[in-house]
Chains A and B, each alone.
Chain A
Amino acid sequence: MNALQQIWTVMRKEIKVAAEFRGQWLNVFFTPLAFIAVMGMTFGDGGAPTAAVYLVNEDEGRLGRQIVSALRNEPTLDLEILSGRSEADRLVGEGRRMAAIVIPSGLSEAVLTEQGGAIEVIVDPAQEQSAGVVLGQVQAATAPMLIDAEVERGVRTAFNTAPETFGFETTDLKALGVDLETVERFLTAAIQGVVSSQVQDAIDDPLVRIELKPASDVALRQAPTIFDYLTPGYSVFFAFFLMGLMAEIIYEERVGGALRRIFTLPIGKTSFLLGKMLPYALIAMLQIIVVFSVSSLLFNFDLGDAPLAFALLVVATGLTVGGLSILVAVLIRSEGQANSIPSLLAVVLAAVSGALFPSIQLPALAQLTPHYWAIQGFLTITALGGGLTDVALHLCVLLTVAVTTFAVAVWRFQPT
């Protein structure tokens, strides 16, 4: 009980001291919104960032060619055409590009059979999250022609199994001067017109599948917009600027002797550091909520519909900001370090994590940053319609980082 009161006392003191640094608050709360607005305008509203992928067409038929040209017209895909599947597989495995779209040989024929066919998307397992986005883009780009193919198959199947069901006799047709093939083509076109109203059904339950290997169970709700990247990216990026403020205050407490005095009082290191860390974790949470709310109001940015998962992600991100920042703050030993290291670290981490420039394709290194997990977690909720189970991994990673960094901070903290 006494420890809780001490934590509360330290928290109130910390907030009072930190409240003096007005410039920092401006930086943490308003700069991300300014950046989001400017970047949003520059990149264009609704334009999702491009994904760099390989494309392999092994199919010699018409469908293969159609799909290639459709994908080429897809502005969000940056394609590099490769001739063979094995080369694509190897390069993706090396992490050169995030995915490879493979149109297997015989697809044009396969779609006309009972079993149907499949377009394969080979993904880098390390970037499975982003692969969901590629899947969506392939779906969007290929949907029309796949539906055509399906209709065609339906008509052919019907003719091949029982032409008489249509009520035509070959001899009658001969008498009319038209051949079966012309009839077939005519009917196909007619039926396609009817079926086009059912396009949506076909997308939902396609006979031609697009397979993701290894599969991601995140269902794409809509293509992510630029704000799905910018909002969490800049929110987390600027939340980490709290690190500089924490480092500065703890440095002043150190040289001013306040730390020495506090630890001649009966208070433990853990209580003291919790009291110092929690205000910033809460401020980071508040900042994320504010930035997301304003972004949603101004830019029509959809917050998804998993409020619990969203709230937990806000809490986990806030605690991670607090934990990592208190660790850095505790290790800093000079004013020069206090002025340079935290902001440098905030920028480097953000740059590596992909928070600064929205991109689906990130170096594997990005996963070492808490930003990455926070951003991907929020993206999963806002753009991909994910829920609690979809962000469970993100929550675990973030909370692990928070707890570990805080524990190391307590361990390494020297008040004298």
Chain B
Amino acid sequence: MPASILEAHNLVKKYGDLVAVNDVSFAIEEGEIFGLLGPNGAGKSTTISMLSGLLPPTAGKAIIAGLDVVRETAKVKQIIGVAPQELALYPTLTGRENVRFFGELYGLRGKALIERVDEVLGYVGMLERANDRVQTYSGGMKRRINLAAALVNHPRLLFLDEPTVGVDPQSRNHIFESVERLNREQGVSILYTTHYMEEAERLCHRVGIIDRGRLIALNTPRRLIESLGGGVIQLGLPGADESVRSAVAALPAVRAASFLAPEGAGLPEADQTSATGGQGKAILKIEALHSNEALLQVLHYCNEAQLQILSLDLLEPNLETVFLNLTGKSLRD
């Protein structure tokens, strides 16, 4: 079993009453690309801040390469690289000056610095434009410089916080390829956060799903999707009727059925009761053991019960559906 490069033990971060990160534990193995998938405000950036020694945790601890992040921060900082979610660059300096600045802060000097700066700029495909000011770059080019700056110290563990936000498709692909090459050719371990499920599915060996500060699932993308069983069906009905729900849940090809929170009500806890009271459409989420059979049985039941079907969705088995199944919400607002 490969050694863990990072271990997070019961991390908690509170801002007053708000619990931004709530008892999060996971480990990243050496050479692994680990994804944290969750919507905005889930606590991804806060987790990275605690893991990279920027923010002291309210409780819990983090170990990187055997070093305690809080007690041995200086050593930890030498072996990690962080590309923050914000474009942490100086817009009036050139791409090269930016990367050079961070290289110098790591203690690189002279020839070693010049070579390494060129190397990472080449790695992200930004050598040509390196001497232009960052403010003249496209969003994607800025993201690539942001990544280059995180690589300048040869990190063993790389934190990439939503590295593709505001990026054109071409740069996006370039970033994906850079991330994959770094991992494959140099064995860099990567913690990759995103709210795009396609990215997590494509890049990550394992994905942790995070919502409202809690890690609610953790597995390979394939296993997470398999956990959906036979798929998810969403049925639009004129009202949320408990007898309908229990009848559907009792169908042989159905594993579970529940009403989704109505549109606009953020909290899933504000669940069926609020959906029942409304006059509008209610969405019944049906987890199937086998989607074809479940679909037939559900349609049959509705027909028998003379229920009007307002809408019908068979959800693709992907991480988006996994998230929806776990939280009753969609990843993107």
Contacts and interface: CB of A to CB of B under 8 A. Distances in A.
A258 interface: yes
A17 B53 CA distance: 27
Contacts of A255: 86
A262 interface: yes
A5 B110 CA distance: 12
Interface in B161-208: none
A333 to B, nearest CB: 15
Interface string A3-38: 001100110010011001000000000000000000
Interface string B275-309: 00000000000000000000000000000000000
A20 B49 CA distance: 31
B112 to A, nearest CB: 13
Nearest to A266: B77
B109 A260 contact: no
Contacts of B102: 261-262, 265
Contacts of A9: 101, 104-105
B101 A257 contact: no
Contacts of B85: 257
Nearest to A265: B105
B101 A264 contact: no
Contacts of A13: 90, 93, 101
Interface string A252-279: 0001111011111111000000000000
A250 to B, nearest CB: 12
Contacts of A257: 84-88
Contact of B97 (A2, A5, A16): A16
B92 A17 contact: yes
A5 B107 contact: yes
A146 B105 CA distance: 71
A260 B88 contact: yes
Contacts of A6: 104-105, 107
Contact of B82 (A256, A261, A416): A261
B55 interface: yes
B288 to A, nearest CB: 44
Contact of B109 (A5, A261, A415): A5
B77 A265 contact: yes
Interface residues of B, number: 32
A2 B107 contact: yes
Interface string B63-81: 0000000000010011010
A181 B51 CA distance: 103
A261 B93 contact: no
Interface residues of A, number: 23
A390 to B, nearest CB: 44
A258 B90 contact: yes
B148 interface: no
Nearest to B74: A266
B11 interface: no
A163 to B, nearest CB: 91
Contacts of B88: 256-258, 260-262
Nearest to A259: B88
B22 interface: no
Given A13-B93, A17-B93, A255-B86, A264 B54 contact: yes
A20 B93 CA distance: 10
A263 B54 contact: yes
Contacts of B107: 2, 5-6, 266
Contacts of B91: 256
Contact of B54 (A2, A258, A266, A416): A416
Contacts of A416: 49, 54-55
A259 to B, nearest CB: 8
A267 B89 CA distance: 17
Nearest to B48: A264
Contacts of B49: 260, 416
A257 B49 CA distance: 12
Contacts of A262: 88, 102, 105
A10 B90 CA distance: 12
B93 A16 contact: yes
B331 interface: no
A260 B161 CA distance: 12
Nearest to A21: B92
Contacts of A17: 90, 92-93
A10 B149 CA distance: 16
A17 B92 CA distance: 7
Q: Which of B82, B84, B90 has the most CB of A within 10 A?
A: B90
Contact of B84 (A2, A261, A266, A267): A261
Nearest to A19: B92
A345 B84 CA distance: 34
A267 B54 contact: no
A255 B90 CA distance: 12
A262 B82 CA distance: 9
B77 A256 contact: no
Interface in A295-328: none
A13 B90 CA distance: 9
A257 B102 CA distance: 13
Given A258-B90, A416-B54, A264 B77 contact: yes
Interface in A61-100: none
A415 B56 CA distance: 12
Contacts of B93: 13, 16-17
Given A17-B92, A261-B149, A266 B109 contact: no
A264 B80 contact: yes
A61 to B, nearest CB: 75
B252 to A, nearest CB: 53
Contacts of B97: 16
B234 interface: no
B52 interface: yes
B87 A256 contact: yes
Contacts of B84: 257, 260-261, 264
Contacts of B92: 16-17, 20
Interface string B40-56: 00000000010011110
Nearest to B85: A257
B104 A5 contact: yes
A2 B55 CA distance: 24
A2 B101 CA distance: 14
B132 to A, nearest CB: 15
6 contacts: A5-B109, A9-B105, A16-B90, A258-B89, A264-B52, A265-B77
Given A5-B109, A257-B84, A265-B102, 4 more contacts: A13-B101, A260-B86, A262-B105, A265-B105
Interface of A: 2, 5-6, 9-10, 13, 16-17, 20, 255-258, 260-267, 415-416
Closest 5 CB pairs of A and B: A257-B86, A261-B88, A257-B88, A264-B82, A266-B77
